[in-house]
Homo-oligomer: A and B are copies of this chain.
Amino acid sequence: MEKLTTINALRFKLRETRPQGSIGFVPTMGALHEGHLSLIRQAKQECPTVVVSIFVNPTQFNDPTDLEKYPRTLERDLELCEEAGADFVFAPEVSEIYPYGFSTKIIVEGNLTRLLEGAFRPGHFDGVTTVVAKLFHIVQPDRAYFGEKDWQQLQVIRKMTSDLTLPIEIIGVPTIREADGLAMSSRNVRLSPEAREKAKVLPFLLKTAQDLLDSATPETQTDKGPVIAQWLTTLLESNAPDAKVDYIAVVDPETLISIDEITDTALVALAVHIGGVRLIDNRLIRRTP
């Protein structure tokens, strides 16, 4: 495995390996955990050459404190990348990606970036789409891997890729969870022991959403999105009264628009601050006919 820090050096290397078969790409912000590693492993199974980028992208942080506190563990990350099968790690400085005078933005407009995270993190997705498109141009991968934990981000990137006809297959990879169900996240290390304990309520809420849907009757109305969302909110309040909810929503998995009656599949998505750390998670729920 080789670590590269400049665009030119990476391009030069990839020019050699490209003829040997497809290139898989896993863009990350570092602080790698099992979730990232599952992306790298899947990429390695499907592509002879795997590139991982490690770049804490400042333009996607709407909150400067979040950017500052974002964990940075490059040496450990490099070891993990190598173990998971990466061939190249691209770890550029900010000035390599955003040189002086940089002034181009890629924006996906509409509900996909306006709803859920978009409502709470203004400009976040503009930062994501711009940096991901730039990384796509640098790496020119055949396939790119993203975690389903950031479900909305995955949809936004699919949309950008298809609108701009980027010749890249976008692959969503299921969320990896801790033993108690908490979704792996680089931000989890910032949870205090008590907050970490409390945080397990989030996967519990998501599991409960499926249980509620399974038990739907005309009386419970738990085949209605708003009814499930309200149940989950109440349940969170009783389990973690000091948690701050950004949203708990039952939405269409593709459009992210709130669903009233669940006839088939819905996405339960939530963003909750626990002990001062903002956590997001989601789960598809299915109605069994």
Contacts and interface: CB of A to CB of B under 8 A. Distances in A.
A284 interface: no
Interface string A112-144: 100000000000000001000110011010000
A104 interface: yes
A108 B140 CA distance: 22
A106 B133 CA distance: 10
Interface residues of A, number: 25
A103 interface: yes
Nearest to A102: B163
Contact of A167 (B137, B160, B165, B167): B137
B106 A105 contact: yes
Contacts of A112: 103
A126 to B, nearest CB: 9
A191 interface: no
Interface in A176-205: none
A107 B105 contact: yes
Interface string A85-103: 0000000000000000011
Contact of A163 (B103, B109, B138, B164): B103
Contacts of A165: 7, 134, 137-138
Contacts of A160: 104
A179 B133 CA distance: 45
Interface in A27-64: none
B11 A104 contact: no
A273 interface: no
A156 to B, nearest CB: 10
A159 interface: yes
Given A104-B106, A106-B107, A137-B166, 8 more contacts: A104-B108, A104-B164, A106-B106, A106-B164, A107-B107, A134-B165, A138-B165, A140-B167
